Structure 1
């Protein structure tokens, strides 16, 4: 049984220059997604890279979960004019079933809660043939967290460059969750990007 020493925090923008930290986040995300998206991508396709993660940290978009000095989870957050979003949710295999993923999502929601943001959007890359068991379970998990299915978008319409590297046709499954009206004490921490979507497929 794991002790409750989990710490979740938004990574300081200055850590974008910390090569070891950036590489640790890249490694965790790529390992988790390689297992979760087996058969969806051509061999050798990585979920993310050092350049992308360093830029995201610099924009205040990375939240991590740690036990002691061990990185055990990560999620990326950001916002557009009216909606927040999160993606790249990755949790170490040893943390499955401990609530770490849920706590990362709840932290993301809390950080995005501020005036003008009334909705959270989520895109889950999903094979059209529904063949991936991890994605089916993820669908059930997000619904239990009150995320509502909106529609399917063709992934190629969003990212034609990456679509060419898919091993099977996929869609972005779009979910959303309305946010409560924020109180002043619950506003997001400073440093969140209001400009960006993920440069890779955005999902958990």
Structure 2
């Protein structure tokens, strides 16, 4: 995922009825789980890697029905996907909507092709049109030491305009993962303020 030429892929929003297509749901599920296993497999006790399944067909089906799921396809195969989930801001003093980026995966054959950037940009534009003022995402991150893939993501999202806004303890957010984590980790929350093109023109 770099600024190189975009991947030869067609990005499209899945209609809710696509949730009834089992082969499509299965393909998305497999892609997401493969990507997360590659990215986070070394965080977990080996005998519990089965718990690292990021999602399952039932959850993907629900996402397609209730949220906005995009896929990137090439030659009839899904090579990327991403989800936009919109929620009201948690702060009651703020009524702004926040878009949450999730289910983000790009096939290993398309890494550093620009496809990841294209997918995120599509979601950001969609979120802005739907009244979101910011985008958020979370990354499982070791509390100490580096991690090749996580360090890469930190730089990549930074270039996309995302900044760290807070951290959350796994015991509070995802307690079921705690017993199987090899290295102490937490969730790092990144946020990006969405600015319309007209706003950018007003900046001195």
TM-score (norm 1): 0.82
Tell which structure's C-alpha radius of gyration is larger.
Answer: 2
Q: CA deviation at 1:61?
A: 2.8
Q: CA deviation at 1:29?
A: 0.5
Q: CA deviation at 1:16?
A: 0.8
Consecutive unaligned residues of structure 1, counting only runs of 5 or more, are: 184-204
Contact 2:67 2:83 in 1 (8 A): no
2:38 to 29, 35, 40: 35
Select the structure with the greater relative contact order (CA < 8 A; seq sep ≥ 6): 1
Contact 1:118 1:181 in 2 (8 A): no
In structure 2, how many angstroms separate the alpha carbons of the residues matched to 1:72 and 1:116? 29
| Deviation >6 Å, runs of 4+ | none
Contact 1:114 1:182 in 2 (8 A): no
Q: CA deviation at 1:115?
A: 5.5
Q: Give the corresponding residue for 2:61.
A: 54
Q: Give the corresponding residue for 1:17.
A: 20
Q: CA deviation at 1:182?
A: 8.0
Per-residue CA deviations over 1:16-44 (Å, capped at 9, x if unaligned) read 11110000000000111111112113421
Q: CA deviation at 1:67?
A: 1.0
1:44 correspondence with 2:59: no
Contact 1:37 1:132 in 2 (8 A): no
Per-residue CA deviations over 1:36-70 (Å, capped at 9, x if unaligned) read 11211342121111111010011133111111311
Q: Give the corresponding residue for 2:75.
A: 68
Q: CA deviation at 1:181?
A: 4.2
Per-residue CA deviations over 1:56-89 (Å, capped at 9, x if unaligned) read 0111331111113110001121111221110221
SS in 2 for 1:47: coil
Task: Name whichever structure is richer in helix by fraction.
Answer: 2
Q: CA deviation at 1:100?
A: 0.4
Q: CA RMSD in A?
A: 2.1
Per-residue CA deviations over 1:148-191 (Å, capped at 9, x if unaligned) read 111221122112123334333221111111112488xxxxxxxx
Q: Give the corresponding residue for 1:191.
A: none
